[in-house]
Structure 1
Amino acid sequence: MTGFASGQGEGFDHRWSWDIRSVNGRGLELRFRLPDWIDGLEAKLREILTNQIKRGNVTVSLRVQSNAQQDGTVTLNQPQMMSVLEAMLQIEEQASAMGLSLAPANAAQIVGQRGVLEMEQSTPDTEGLKQTLVNEFTSLVTDFVASRAAEGRALEDIIGSQINQIESLTKQAAELAEARKDDQADRLKQQLARVTGNVEDIDPARIAQELALIAVKSDVTEEIDRLGAHVATARDLVQQSGAVGRKLDFLMQEFNREANTLCSKSGFAALTTVGLELKTVIDQMREQVQNLE
C-alpha cells in the first residue's frame, strides 16, 4: 500500500530530516538510506517498521547534518614532516650536482604537504543521538501508518463496489444457466435424433451414459456456488481490521479460476458474455487488492 510521512528534528549539535514512503508489494521489503556512522540505527528502525507494517516496498531516508563548527585539534605529524624535509634535501643536492639552482621552500609549502598537519575530529555522541532519532522515528511511523490507513479506507469503498459487481454478475450467470437448461435439452434431443437416425443397434445404456457426461461437463452450478461463497468471504475480509491483503490476493486467484471454468463450460453466448465480464471485474479488483496491507 502506498503511504508517505516526513519530519525534521534537531539535537546533539545536529539537525536532520526524515522521509518514509512506500509503494505496492506482494511482501514486505525495507530499504534504508541512513548515515553509516550511527551504529545500530538501522536495526532499531527495522524492528519498529516490521512491528507495524506487513506488506509493501518501504524506503526510509534520513539526512543528518552537524550544527557545530569544525572544532578539531590540529597536530604536527613529526615523522611525516621529517620525511618531507629529507626528500627536499635530496632533491636540492641532486639539483645542485646538475648545476640547477632551486628557490628555497618556506614553511607554508612544507605544512601543505599531505600528512604533515593532521586534524583530530571530536567524536559525536552517537548513542544519545541514536536514541533521539529512534524515538522520533516511532512517532513518524504512526503518521505513516495513518496515511496508509486513510488510503485503505478509500480502497475499501472501491473493492466493496467491485464485490457487489461480482455478486450481481454471479446472479445473472445463475439465471442464465437455469434458462439454458431447456435450450440445452432441445439441442441434445436434436443431436441425438440425428445420430440415432443414421446408426442401427444403438445401446440405450451407452446413449444415457454419453448424455450424462455431456450434462456434467456443461453444468456450472458448482462454479456459481463457489463464486457466491467467495463473495461472502471477500466481504468478510474487507470488513476485518488488520492485514488482509495476502488473504484477498489468494482469494482473487480462486475467483479467477471459477470465472475461467464458467466460460469454458458455458456453451451459451449470453452466459459466456457474463463470464467474460466477471473476469474483467475480477482483474480490476485484483489490481486494487495489491494496494492493501
Structure 2
Amino acid sequence: MIKSMTAYARAENQTASYTVRVEVRSFNSRHLDVALKLTHGFESLEEHIKGIIAETVARGRVDIRVQIHDASEAGIAFEVNLPRARAYYEALTQLNQALDLTGQTSIETVLAVGSMIHAVEVEKDMDAVWPQLEPCLRTAMTDLDAMRRVEGNNMARDFRQRLDAIETMLEEIGSQAAQLPEMVRQRLKDRIEALTHGVVEIDQTRIAQEAALLADRSDISEEIVRANSHIQQFRALMEDDTPAGRPLNFLLQEFNREFNTMGSKSGKATMSHIIVAVKSELEKLREQIQNVE
C-alpha cells in the first residue's frame, strides 16, 4: 500500500461542557515522530492521543495540536484573597476615621484595587473529557489517512508508469546483450587482422574460444533476471497492505547495483545509453519514495 507521508486534517467537537479542536499535519521522517501541543491541565491524555496516532501512522513526523476548552461548572473556580481584602478594608476604615469621613466602604471600592479575586486551576476530569476528545481525534486521523492514501495513489500511478518504462528498456538491453557474443567475436577478428595485416592465417577455433571468454565476462543475463525480479517485487510491495516505504527504498538500492554492473560490463554504446536512461528513471523513483510511508 502506497501512502504519502504528507497530509493535513482538522476536526472539532462541541458540547455544552467542552469544546475540542484537533489539528494535525504529517511530514517526511525516517521514523514515527509525534510532536504534540496539548492544552495545559490535560497532559495525562498524551499517551492515549499518541496511541491513536500510532494506529494510523507507521512512519513520518506528526505535528498535532489539541485544544480543549472546559466550559463546565466544575471547570470554573475562583478564589478570594481574604488577607489582602481585609487589610485593604481596614486601611480604608482607618482612613475614614482619621479624616472623619461618612459613608460605608463598598465592595466595589475594595475590588477596584485588583488581585482580590482570581481564577484557580481546577483538576481536570479526564474521564469526562476523553469521550469528547476521542471521536474528534479519530475523525481527524481518519481524514489525515484518507489524504495520505489519495496522495499515495497518485504516486503509485507514477511508479507504475516508470516501472513499465524500465521494463521496456530492460527488454531492449536484453536484446542488445544477445548480440554481444557475435559482436565480440567480430571485433576480436578485425583487431587481429589489423595487427597481422593478413600475413598470418587466423585460427577460427581459437578466435571463437577467446571471443567466448570475453563474451562471458560481458554477460549480463543474471543481472537482467534479477532486475526483472526486482520489478515484480516492487509491484507486489505496492499492493501489499503493510507500509512500503522502507522496503521500496532498499529494493531501489538493489536495482541500482544491477544496472551499475550492467553499465560496467556493457560494450555497446547503444546499450550504455539505455542503461543511463534507466538510471535516470530510478533516480526519479528514489526521490518520490522518500515521501512514501
TM bucket, shorter chain: 0.7 to 0.9
Counterpart residue number, 1:35: 39
Q: Could you tell me how far 1:117 is from its partner in structure 2?
A: 5.4
The C-alpha deviation readout for 1:62-108, integer Å capped at 9, x for no partner, is: 2233446995334234289769x99xxxxxxxxxxxxxxxxxxxx99
Counterpart residue number, 1:96: none
Structure 2, gaps ≥5 residues long = 92-106, 198-206
SS in 1 for 2:43: coil
Q: 1:75 aligns with which of 77, 80, 101?
A: 80
Show the 5 A alignment for 1:2-151.
Answer: 2-11=6-15, 13-67=17-71, 71-78=76-83, 119-151=119-151
In structure 2, the CA distance between the partners of 1:126 and 1:188, relative to structure 1 (3 Å rule), is same
Counterpart residue number, 1:167: 167
Q: Could you tell me how far 1:169 is from its partner in structure 2?
A: 0.8
- Aligned-pair identity in percent equals 27
Which protein, 1 or 2, shows the higher relative CO under an 8 Å CA cutoff with sep ≥ 6?
2
The C-alpha deviation readout for 1:174-220, integer Å capped at 9, x for no partner, is: 111122332222222344566789xxxxxxxxx99986664343222
In structure 2, the CA distance between the partners of 1:219 and 1:108, relative to structure 1 (3 Å rule), is same
Counterpart residue number, 1:226: 226
Structure 1, gaps ≥5 residues long = 87-106, 198-206
For 2:160, give the aligned amino acid: G
Aligned-residue Cα RMSD (Å) equals 3.5
Counterpart residue number, 2:104: none
Counterpart residue number, 1:177: 177
The TM-score, its normalising length taken from structure 1, stands at 0.76
Structure 2 CA distance, aligned partners of 1:167 and 1:287? 19
Structure 2 CA distance, aligned partners of 1:115 and 1:196? 110
In structure 2, the CA distance between the partners of 1:65 and 1:212, relative to structure 1 (3 Å rule), is same
For 1:73, give the aligned amino acid: F
The TM-score, its normalising length taken from structure 2, stands at 0.76
Structure 2 CA distance, aligned partners of 1:19 and 1:122? 25
Paired residues of 1:81 and 1:110 also in contact (CA < 8 A): no
Structure 1 CA distance, aligned partners of 2:122 and 2:72? 11
Q: Could you tell me how far 1:163 is from its partner in structure 2?
A: 0.9
For 2:127, give the aligned amino acid: E
Counterpart residue number, 1:249: 249
Paired residues in the alignment total 265
Structure 1 CA distance, aligned partners of 2:267 and 2:86? 94
Show the 5 A alignment for 1:182-221.
Answer: 182-192=182-192, 214-221=214-221
For 1:243, give the aligned amino acid: P
For 1:285, give the aligned amino acid: L
Counterpart residue number, 1:270: 270
Moved more, 241-250 or 183-192: 183-192
The C-alpha deviation readout for 1:5-32, integer Å capped at 9, x for no partner, is: 2111123633232112212333322221
